[in-house]
Amino acid sequence: MSTCGRGEPISLTVEQTPVGRILIAASLHGVMRVDVLGERDVAPTVRNLSHRLEAPLDLDGSPILEQAVEEIRAYLTGMRLTFDVPLDLRLAGPRLRPVLAEMTTLPAGAAATVRQFTLTASSTRRRSLVRSAIAVNPLELLVPAHRIIGRGGVRREFAPGADVQRYLLQIEAAVVRSRALAWDHSHLDA
């Protein structure tokens, strides 16, 4: 049952952000879990994580966890669009890992439907597999499943909900627009 080596500590924190409380967990190899909790109680999520990993949870932090917190805060405030923190996709399971890894290639500020994503993916994925990956994405925000949209601009499978998905898409679009305007103005002065 263990997806981590027994005894491998998992660093954990809960942070307050513009999209609500976020649980972030990291192994020695990378971030394993980012969960937008909203108003949900953190205890069941922590118990589930501890049980699944069969690993001790460490509230003291780690360099990877600190990097993740810093990058997520910068992303949610429009200071960055990409993440450099290493990811540990072991919680996703072997069928969904390649789909989630492919989602990390979706550019910030862009959105695609499930159909568009399956057509442009390097190896065509079944739409049902993509929908499953969106629904159980263990790395919300870091693996940008929010960029895969449905009718009306949101996906019902997106676990954090439509309001969070809209917020993420809007902040990315605003940052991309402001960077494009800044680039245009800098070239006008040349």
Q: What is the tens place of the pLDDT at every residue in 101-136?
A: 999 999 998 888 888 888 876 655 688 888 899 999
Per-range mean pLDDT, top range of 18-22, 59-63, 153-157: 18-22
Tokens of 164: 């969070």
Domain 10-188 in CATH: superfamily?
A: Methylated DNA-protein cysteine methyltransferase domain (3.30.160.70)
* Residue 1: strand pairing partners: none
C-alpha of 150 from chain center: 18
Report the percent of the chain where pLDDT is more than 70.
88
**pLDDT band (50, 70, 90) for residue 52:** confident
CB 101 within 8 A of CB 89: yes
Q: Specify the pTM.
A: 0.86
